[in-house]
A and B are shown apart, each in its own frame.
Chain A
């Protein structure tokens, strides 16, 4: 007993390593919108401001159903190869502004923390399945017959998993070319890298542009009509078997309590305002590369959670989402470069 008492006394200055091991300092937030905060409202296909509504598929006559649900089956996330979030996540998300995945709040993914003092530059998101409902088998004249189904979680659900079609063809004509499936894994850059220090609370935010970015496709080989991500980045021609290269994604990380805000309320114009590290060239944010910080002007004028000590340029654009994801997003800079020098500080460009 004396030995035990001595051991306790000698070790009083230790760290709670078991608690650190069991609990997390890093939270992963997964969002499904172009905006990081102050997200634009949901516009379902066929709505007044819908940009495509599946209009490129003129030969589908029967499928007028609009998708209501997104199915996500995530195998795991890795950070530069480290399996820090090896937990399968099944999410059925309604296409609605009340869903955290679509309203800017985000859904949480379980993880084990990453290694301290290592600069992570890429997140690998392993998507096992991704699909929408309102998929249909069609007859030879493209009238719908029966709903498509796929296995999701513990049973079949009505919908279509377009994961295996996420292959970017690069103009390749051979259908045996299988080197470019972009979702297993999907490589998502971390803006400014994640320099987790193993102290305090951290947030890793991962965004996939799904909200207001869906379109109807026709698989002419099997006469299936289904909904998937719009082909705003990599055009899909009628009859193509693959629709890949159309997921825009970005990740960013920050330490809670070591951030400030950018106030753009005084800036005129623009439907969206974005901020990006000053050392990154705005000209590179085209064709699906999206900024780490973005807000919809009608929904707010504050860009929150901007890390202390880094310089940012702020831009605005009046473009719709389709243009923002395209080759000429139309960003124009607001004011001068800003740097938040102290936690809680609000700066104006």
Chain B
């Protein structure tokens, strides 16, 4: 089956899903690698919007979130990820929508006990599975692997790696 034919079938099935969307997400945010020993996992959340492109399988979106990772001691890391992203709908014939996401932007971070904050470059790769609940609402889960990119800074040894495993609900506008 040609890719265009499959795309057309998916489009017919997913007409509602191919509308612009707005939604929110929340769930556990887990620091990885070096950060895992420094700060704890926590709950995070955010909002997002997505719009269509000329190619139906591709949306462009923007996400803003917040998560604060405390520790048992004085360490803490607060993150406000702000990133643009491209979301690709996998052209499978299946009731569940699977999407891949790649994005980039900034994260405003605050660290304690140093009491410092700054914008860090942010790279996000993600995967989403969503279940349509009628014509408007979608429920799903999303995995976002975020890289707070700091290794370009003099003296930096580590980036910050965080895996967000979020539940999401969003609306077809």
Docked CA distance A10–B73 (Å): 33
The answer to whether B104 touches A84, judged by C-beta atoms less than 8 angstroms apart, is: no
Q: Return the CB mask of B61-80 against A: 1 if under 8 Å, else 0.
A: 00000000001111101000
| Given A4-B121, A7-B104, A22-B35: A17 and B114 interface contact (C-beta under 8 Å) | yes
Complex interface: chain A residues within 8 A of B119 (CB): 7, 10-11, 14
B109 is an interface residue with CB less than 8 A from chain A? yes
The answer to whether B113 touches A11, judged by C-beta atoms less than 8 angstroms apart, is: no
B20 is an interface residue with CB less than 8 A from chain A? no
Docked CA distance A18–B155 (Å): 11
Output the least CB separation between A16 and chain B (Å). 3
Output the least CB separation between A124 and chain B (Å). 13
B38 is an interface residue with CB less than 8 A from chain A? yes
Tell me the chain B residues, 119-152 only, with Cβ under 8 Å from chain A.
Answer: 119-123, 148-150, 152
Query: Of the 9-residue stretches B10-18, B22-30, B46-54, B156-164, which lies at the interface with chain A?
Result: B156-164
The answer to whether B155 touches A86, judged by C-beta atoms less than 8 angstroms apart, is: no
A15 is an interface residue with CB less than 8 A from chain B? yes
- The residue on A at minimum CB distance from B36 is A22
The answer to whether A19 touches B157, judged by C-beta atoms less than 8 angstroms apart, is: yes
Complex interface: chain A residues within 8 A of B166 (CB): none
The answer to whether A18 touches B105, judged by C-beta atoms less than 8 angstroms apart, is: no
The answer to whether B73 touches A85, judged by C-beta atoms less than 8 angstroms apart, is: yes
Complex interface: chain B residues within 8 A of A114 (CB): 74, 113
Complex interface: chain A residues within 8 A of B149 (CB): 7-8
Interface size on A, residues (CB 8 A): 31
Docked CA distance A307–B158 (Å): 32
B111 is an interface residue with CB less than 8 A from chain A? yes
Q: Return the CB mask of A78-89 against B: 1 if under 8 Å, else 0.
A: 000011111000
Docked CA distance A333–B159 (Å): 53
Complex interface: chain A residues within 8 A of B153 (CB): 11-12, 14-16
Tell me the chain A residues, 57-95 only, with Cβ under 8 Å from chain B.
Answer: 76, 82-86
Docked CA distance A23–B156 (Å): 10
The answer to whether A84 touches B113, judged by C-beta atoms less than 8 angstroms apart, is: yes
The answer to whether A21 touches B150, judged by C-beta atoms less than 8 angstroms apart, is: no
Contact of B111 among A17, A76, A84, A86 (CB under 8 A): A17
The answer to whether A14 touches B150, judged by C-beta atoms less than 8 angstroms apart, is: yes
The answer to whether A20 touches B121, judged by C-beta atoms less than 8 angstroms apart, is: no
Docked CA distance A75–B37 (Å): 18
Complex interface: chain B residues within 8 A of A11 (CB): 106, 118-121, 152-153
Docked CA distance A103–B119 (Å): 46
Complex interface: chain B residues within 8 A of A326 (CB): none
Docked CA distance A16–B105 (Å): 18
The answer to whether A18 touches B121, judged by C-beta atoms less than 8 angstroms apart, is: no
Q: Return the CB mask of A84-121 against B: 1 if under 8 Å, else 0.
A: 11100000000000000000000000011111100000
A221 is an interface residue with CB less than 8 A from chain B? no
Complex interface: chain A residues within 8 A of B150 (CB): 14, 16-19
The answer to whether A113 touches B114, judged by C-beta atoms less than 8 angstroms apart, is: yes
The answer to whether B156 touches A112, judged by C-beta atoms less than 8 angstroms apart, is: no
The answer to whether A21 touches B74, judged by C-beta atoms less than 8 angstroms apart, is: no
Complex interface: chain B residues within 8 A of A4 (CB): 104, 121, 123
The answer to whether B155 touches A16, judged by C-beta atoms less than 8 angstroms apart, is: yes
| Chain A residues packing against B (C-beta within 8 Å) | 1, 3-4, 7-8, 10-12, 14-23, 76, 82-86, 111-116, 198
Could you jot down 29 A-B contacts, CB within 8 Å? A7-B121, A8-B121, A8-B152, A11-B118, A14-B153, A15-B118, A16-B150, A16-B158, A17-B117, A18-B34, A18-B35, A18-B120, A18-B160, A19-B158, A20-B111, A21-B35, A21-B39, A22-B37, A82-B74, A84-B73, A86-B71, A112-B71, A112-B73, A112-B74, A113-B74, A114-B113, A115-B74, A115-B112, A115-B114
| Chain B residues packing against A (C-beta within 8 Å) | 34-35, 37-39, 71-75, 77, 84, 104-106, 109, 111-123, 148-150, 152-160
